[in-house]
Amino acid sequence: MQDEYLRENEKYDIEFNQLQQELENKQIIIDEVLENNISLHFELSTYRNLLNLEEKRLNRRQQDQQLQTSSTNPNEKVEDNITQKLAVKKTAKG
């Protein structure tokens, strides 16, 4: 009976050790996933900031070009408006 008890106890010890090792392995995997998650969030934030900065730069550049165009030839807009009005009149007349 004592031998049977010892064998059963050994069996439980082996199973306990296996479960403990499994738990450690799963904890390592969880830690790695959390670390990757943090890294990815940081990377996404960095790219989001870079994209926002680039978008602002492009908008500024476009505004600067529009200002340069309007300041170099202020009559151009008036001429464009007149041309458009004439085209509308011609279309209306047939």
Q: What is the pLDDT of residues 27-56, one digit of tens each?
A: 999 999 999 999 999 999 999 999 999 999
Q: How confident is the model at residue 68 (pLDDT cuts 50, 70, 90)?
A: confident
- The pLDDT of residue 66 is above 90: no
- The pLDDT of residue 85 is above 80: no
- The pLDDT of residue 81 is above 90: no
Q: How far apart are CA 6 and CA 12, in angstroms?
A: 10
Contact between residue 74 and residue 68 where contact means Cβ atoms under 8 Å apart: no
Model confidence pLDDT, tens digit, residues 7-33:
999 999 999 999 999 999 999 999 999
CA separation, residue 52 to residues 15, 56, 68 (Å): 55, 6, 24
